[in-house]
């Protein structure tokens, strides 16, 4: 579903209550792991930016997609056996709880990656 939105609240509001709950959980995990990041919409998806985009996330028919860039997936691929994933995306199915700790560590990795690049 391609939903044009101006902000993350608007994006989330367009989904069912069940999907909204998962999207709000994802948002809260990311916000806690990257407290200095700014919320935005990019490529029609919710995203968090801290100098650069840290991660995107989006709702789909059967899952929430997390897009932590290729490096975010590569550095955690050994922990992704329970999920469908590709070079830059991870799919978290609606019928399973979100892996709070894993998502948090991926986001913190992206924060540290962006911070270290900006110091160079």
Residue 4's pLDDT is 52
Phi/psi of residue 74, nearest 5 degrees: -55, -45
Per-residue model confidence (pLDDT) at position 6: 73
Interatomic CA distance for residues 3 and 118, integer angstroms? 32
pLDDT tens, per residue, the chain with 120 residues:
444 557 999 999 999 999 999 999 999 999 999 999 999 999 999 999 998 999 999 999 999 999 999 999 999 999 999 999 999 999 999 999 999 999 999 999 999 999 887 666
Compute the distance between CA of residue 39 and CA of residue 50 in angstroms, rounded to an integer: 9
> Are 106 and 68 a contacting pair, CB within 8 Å?
yes
pLDDT of residue 117: 78
The pLDDT assigned to 5 comes to 56
| Radius of gyration in angstroms for the set of CA atoms belonging to the chain, rounded to a whole number | 13
Q: What is the pLDDT of residues 52-72, one digit of tens each?
A: 999 999 999 999 999 999 999
Count, residues in the chain:
120
Task: Note the pLDDT of residue 81.
Answer: 95
| β-bridge mates for residue 85, sequence order | 90
Residues 60/22, Cβ–Cβ less than 8 Å = no
∠ CA 71-92-25 to the nearest 5 degrees? 95
* Domains, the chain, ordered by start: 8-119 (3.90.1150.200)
């Amino acid at each position: 579903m391609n939903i044009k939105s101006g902000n993350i609240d608007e994006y989330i509001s367009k989904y069912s209550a069940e999907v909204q709950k998962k999207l709000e959980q994802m948002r809260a995990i990311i916000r806690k792991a990257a407290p200095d990041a700014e919320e935005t919409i990019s490529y029609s998806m919710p995203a968090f930016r801290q100098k650069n985009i840290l991660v995107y996330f989006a709702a789909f028919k059967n899952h929430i997609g997390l897009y932590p860039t290729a490096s975010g997936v590569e550095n955690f691929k050994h922990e992704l056996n329970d999920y469908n994933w590709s070079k830059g995306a991870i799919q978290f199915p609606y019928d399973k709880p979100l892996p709070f700790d894993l998502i948090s560590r991926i986001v913190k990795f992206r924060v540290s990656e962006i911070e270290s690049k900006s110091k160079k």
